Structure 1
Amino acid sequence: MKVLHVYRTCYPETRGGVEQVIRYITQGCQEYGVQSKVLSVSHNDSYSVEVQGTEVILCKADMEIASNSFSFQLFSEFKRLAQWADIIHFHYPWPTGDLLFLFNKDKPSIVTYHSDIIKQKWLKKVYKPLETFFLNNVDAIVATSPQYQKQSPNLLKYCKKTHVIPLAVDPKDYISPDTNWSNDDQYSFLENDYFLFVGVLRYYKGLGYLLDASKKTDATIVIAGDGPLYDELQQRITKENIQNVILTGYISDSEKLKLIANCKAFVFPSHIRSEAFGVSLIEAQMLKKAIISCDISTGTSYVNIHGETGLVVPPGKADSLTNAIEELNRDSQKRSKFGQNGYQRHCHYSR
C-alpha cells in the first residue's frame, strides 16, 4: 500500500508536534508493508529528502496568510504523487490542503483532525465553504482523543465517519542509556532540580501564565524550545528580573531527552483549544515524569489524568500553576507515583 501525507510543515524542516506525529505514523506503518511519502511546504528552496525510509517532498512557499502557507508548485506535485498513492492522508487544519483535495479525482482519502481553527476567525469565515466541502467528501476522519471528538463542533457534525485514534510515539526512541548529564552538557548545572516545559513557543502554550507563576515559587523552571514567542518571553524575563526561569532556545533531540529525563516534573500550561493533544506529554510519560497540565477539554486531559498521572489545573490561572508546582516540588513520592502511572498508562494504550 502507498500513502501520501499532506500537511503544511514536516520533519525535519520543523519539529513541532504534528510533524512528529506524521513521522511516527510513516515510520510505524513500514513494518506493515506501507510505503509513505510526505508533501509539504518549505520556506527555503524546493527539495526532497529521505527521513527514516520515507521520502519528504517540499515545495518552496510563494506566500503565507495567517499561518497558511501556499505554493503554486504544490499542485503539480500533488497531481503527480496522487497518481502514485493508493490513499491520500490529509492533516487538518491547512486550508491549502483542502484546496489540493479538489484535485483528488478518485483516491480514497483520510484526514487526521489535529485541531479546530481557533485564532484566525476572519479567515475561518472566508474558508468555511471549502472546509465544508473537504470534510463532507473525505472518506474518513480521525480524531486524536475522545475529548476532542466530543467538544469540536466540526467533529460532532461528522461523528458517523469519525474514528478516535490517540497519538503515540515510538518507545524505542526513549530507551536510551545516554540520558545522564555529562560534564560537556551545557545544562548539567541544573542536575535534577527543575520543572520543564518543552515545545514550540506559540501563543496557545500559556507560557505567559507560566512566567507569572514562576514569580511566586522558588522552583527553577526551564522553558526549552524556540518559536514565535521567544523574543517576547526573553524580554519579559529580563524586564521583570525573573531569575528562576531559564529560556534555552532551540534544543537538539538528545538535549530534549536529557532535559526530560532529569527534570522533577513536566509543566504544560497550554490554555486554549488550539492545543489539541500535546505530543510532548507522551514523551514525558515515556520517561516516567509527573505532569502538570490545564483542563481545556482536549487530548491533554486524555493523556494526563488528574490525581493519577499528574495534576490538571484550570487554564490561564497563574496561581493554580504555582500551587501545582509547589505541591510536586515538596513531594517526591507523589512525583514518582505519577510518573510511573503515566508510563504504565502509555504502554497500555500504545499496544
Structure 2
Amino acid sequence: MARILIVGKFYPPFMGGIEEVTQTVAEKAAERHDVTVLVNNHEPGSKREMMNGVKVLRQHAVVNYKAQPISLRMFRGIDLAQFDLVNFHSPNPYVNALFVLRRALRGGPPVVVTHHMDIYGRKALRAISLPFIRHLIRSATSVIITSHKNLLVSNDLPRDAHYEVVPLGLKREAFDPDDALRAEARQWRAGLSGDAPLVGFVGRIARYKGLDVLMRALSKLDGVHAAIGGGGEYLAATKQAAIDAGVADRVHFVGRIDHRTKLKLLCSIDAFVFPSTEITEAFGLSQCEAMLCGTPVVASDLPTGVSDVSIDGKTALCVPPGDSDALAGAIRTIITDRALADRLAAAGRAHVLENMTSDIMAARTLDVFERAMARQAKAA
C-alpha cells in the first residue's frame, strides 16, 4: 500500500469540474492505497476529516484574489518525504509556487501533475505563476492531460515533458434518469416554455462559455426558449446580453441547481448547447452529462478536447466558435430533424459510455500513478 498525497484547489462539497475529478481519483486510489487530499478550505478556518476512505485536509485561505485562494500555511505540518507520490492538480498558481519552493528546499517523492487548463485573461497572475508551473511540469514524472489537442494549442505547457492522455469521465449511474424523473422533467419544461422548443446550458457562467453568442442565436430563432443553469462572474453580463438581443422573455435563468434539477433540465431540453469561444475550454464535461442523458448536443468546434467529445455529424453538430448564425442554424436543424437528433443522441451516449466514464478515467489515472512509483523505485 502506497501513501499518496493529492494537492488541489478545493474539494467537495465545494463543487466544480476539477473538484469532481479530484474526488473520483482520490476515492478510486483509496481502494488500494493510503490517500490524503490537501486543499484550500472553501469556508473560514482549517479542517481535517475522513470522506469515503480519503483523509481530507482543508487549509485556511488567508485571502481569495481573482478566484485564486492564497493559503500561506498550505503545507504546514506536511512532510512530503512521508509520501510515495504527489498528484498535483493544475492550475493552482499560488499553491504551485509554494509547492515548488518546498520541494526545492526539502525534496520529496515523484510527482504526477494533472493539468486541467491554461491560465487565460489574467496577465499579471500568468506572468508571475507561469515559471513555477513550467518548472513543476518539467520536473514531474508524468503530466496527465485530457486530450493531446490541448498540448498542441497550449501556451503554458512546455513541450519537453512526459505527457499522458486521460480523458475526463462521469459516474454512469449518476446520469441514468428513470421514468419518474423524466416525467418530472416534462412537467418542469411545461412550466418554463409550455409547448415551445427549449434548448439548454448547464455550467459555470464565465466569459469563455459564449453564452452571449447563444443569446444572439436565439434572436434568429422565433419562439425558441433557453434554460440556463448555473452561476458565475458573468451572470449579470449574460442577462444583459439576453436583453440586448431582445430574447430576455425567452431565456430562463434557473440559478445554481442541485443534481436532480440538473438531470431534469438535461432531460427536458431539445438540445444541449455548448457555445464556448476560447481554448480555455479544454474538455467540456457538461457535454458528456447531456449525452449520457440522451440529449443531442450542439457545440463549438474548438481545437481542444471539446471536439474529442462532440464530433461533428457523429456525436453532435459543431459550429465555428462565436458564429451566432451557424449556431442558430444547428439548433434549428436539431429541433426540426428529430431523426438526426435521435441518431446523434444515441451515438453521443455510446461514445461517452465507451470512453469517458469515471471508472475508465480513475483506472487510467491510477495506472499512471503506479507506473510513476515503479519508475522511482527502479531508479532508487
TM-score by length of 2: 0.84
- Write the mapping of 1:78-97 to structure 2, written as runs, cut at 5 A: 79-80=78-79, 82-97=80-95
1:20 aligned partner, one-letter code: E
CA–CA distance in structure 2, aligned partners of residues 30 and 195 of structure 1: 39
CA contact (8 A) 1:86 1:108 kept: yes
Judged with a 3 Å threshold, the aligned counterparts in structure 2 of structure 1 residues 289 and 51 are, in CA distance, closer, same or farther, namely farther
Task: Give 1:222's aligned residue.
Answer: 227
CA contact (8 A) 1:41 1:71 kept: yes
Task: Give 1:118's aligned residue.
Answer: 120
Q: Does 1:63 align with 2:67?
A: no
For structure 2, which runs of at least 5 residues remain unmatched after alignment? 361-380
Deviation by residue 1:180-228 (Cα, 9 ceiling, x = unmatched)? 2439976552479421101011111111111111121121111101111
Task: Give 2:305's aligned residue.
Answer: 299
Q: Secondary structure at the match of 2:37?
A: strand
Q: Could you tell me how far 1:321 is from its partner in structure 2?
A: 1.3
Q: Secondary structure at the match of 2:56?
A: strand
CA–CA distance in structure 1, aligned partners of residues 328 and 247 of structure 2: 18
CA–CA distance in structure 2, aligned partners of residues 208 and 136 of structure 1: 38
Residue of structure 2 aligned with 1:270, choices 263, 268, 276:
276
For the pair shown, which has the larger CA radius of gyration, 1 or 2? 2
1:92 aligned partner, one-letter code: S
CA–CA distance in structure 1, aligned partners of residues 114 and 151 of structure 2: 12
Q: Does 1:197 align with 2:201?
A: yes
After the TM superposition, which of the residue ranges 223-232 and 124-133 deviates more from structure 2?
124-133
Q: Secondary structure at the match of 2:282?
A: coil
Task: Give 1:180's aligned residue.
Answer: 182
Task: Give 2:101's aligned residue.
Answer: 102
Deviation by residue 1:306-346 (Cα, 9 ceiling, x = unmatched)? 00011111111211211111111111111110010011111
The number of aligned residues is 346
CA–CA distance in structure 2, aligned partners of residues 314 and 87 of structure 1: 41
Task: Give 1:163's aligned residue.
Answer: 164
CA–CA distance in structure 2, aligned partners of residues 261 and 30 of structure 1: 33
Deviation by residue 1:119-151 (Cα, 9 ceiling, x = unmatched)? 112322222332232122111101101211222
CA contact (8 A) 1:155 1:162 kept: no
Q: Percent identity?
A: 27
Deviation by residue 1:214-243 (Cα, 9 ceiling, x = unmatched)? 121121111101111222323444564521
After the TM superposition, which of the residue ranges 193-202 and 144-153 deviates more from structure 2?
144-153
Judged with a 3 Å threshold, the aligned counterparts in structure 2 of structure 1 residues 22 and 43 are, in CA distance, closer, same or farther, namely closer
CA contact (8 A) 1:219 1:329 kept: no
CA–CA distance in structure 1, aligned partners of residues 186 and 213 of structure 2: 33
Residue of structure 2 aligned with 1:324, choices 324, 330, 348:
330
2:63 aligned partner, one-letter code: M
CA–CA distance in structure 2, aligned partners of residues 183 and 257 of structure 1: 8
CA contact (8 A) 1:213 1:318 kept: yes
After the TM superposition, which of the residue ranges 145-154 and 286-295 deviates more from structure 2?
145-154
Task: Give 2:365's aligned residue.
Answer: none
CA–CA distance in structure 2, aligned partners of residues 156 and 87 of structure 1: 22
The higher-RCO structure (CA 8 Å, 6+ apart) is: 2
Judged with a 3 Å threshold, the aligned counterparts in structure 2 of structure 1 residues 334 and 29 are, in CA distance, closer, same or farther, namely farther
Judged with a 3 Å threshold, the aligned counterparts in structure 2 of structure 1 residues 166 and 130 are, in CA distance, closer, same or farther, namely same
Q: Could you tell me how far 1:50 is from its partner in structure 2?
A: 4.1
For structure 1, which runs of at least 5 residues remain unmatched after alignment? none
Q: Secondary structure at the match of 1:173?
A: helix
Q: Secondary structure at the match of 1:293?
A: strand
CA contact (8 A) 2:96 2:133 kept: yes
Task: Give 1:150's aligned residue.
Answer: 152
CA contact (8 A) 2:239 2:248 kept: no
Q: Secondary structure at the match of 1:305?
A: coil
Task: Give 2:12's aligned residue.
Answer: 11
2:113 aligned partner, one-letter code: V
Deviation by residue 1:253-306 (Cα, 9 ceiling, x = unmatched)? 111112112221111111101111111111112112211111221111011100
Q: Secondary structure at the match of 1:19?
A: helix
CA–CA distance in structure 2, aligned partners of residues 313 and 49 of structure 1: 45
1:229 aligned partner, one-letter code: Y
1:234 aligned partner, one-letter code: K
Task: Give 1:233's aligned residue.
Answer: 238
Judged with a 3 Å threshold, the aligned counterparts in structure 2 of structure 1 residues 12 and 180 are, in CA distance, closer, same or farther, namely same
Q: Could you tell me how far 1:66 is from its partner in structure 2?
A: 3.2
Q: Secondary structure at the match of 2:311?
A: coil
